[in-house]
Amino acid sequence: MDFFIEILNQLKGEYVDIFLEERLVSQIQIEEDKVQKGSSIFEKGLGIRVIKDGKIFYAFTNDLSKKGIDEIIFSLKNYNSSESVINLKKLSPLKMDRQFFIKNNPNYVDLRDKIKIL
């Protein structure tokens, strides 16, 4: 937790997001109604988004060493321009009339079982 507070203290802005992401991505290639190949890729990384003076700055790394994270913090602290200027406004929560439940976590479903669905 102290690590994330250190990042927030270094990046002065109206808003800062820190994304620590781990995910398994499955890809299935189909040609002429036949499965040609399937693969799974494990991705892991850290992204930081800063909103400062109405501008959005974003950096991402898959190098989770102190050096890799320090590099994206440095780039965000020293980035002086952005093409995206935004106006922040308050949003109200979205209310849904239905609830959706995921019965099986897709990360734990065998790729062969996913192919059968197609």
Where are any strands of DSSP class E within 32-108? 34-52, 55-61
CA-to-CA distance for 96 and 100, rounded, in angstroms?
10
CA-to-CA distance for 69 and 6, rounded, in angstroms?
12
Q: Which pLDDT score, from 0 to 100, does residue 83 have?
A: 54
Sign of the alpha-carbon dihedral angle for 105, 60, 70, 50: negative
> DSSP state, 13?
S
pLDDT in tens, the chain (118 residues): 677 788 878 887 788 888 888 888 888 888 888 888 888 888 899 999 988 877 888 888 989 998 998 998 888 887 755 455 555 566 677 777 777 777 888 778 887 887 777 6
Q: Which pLDDT score, from 0 to 100, does residue 106 have?
A: 77
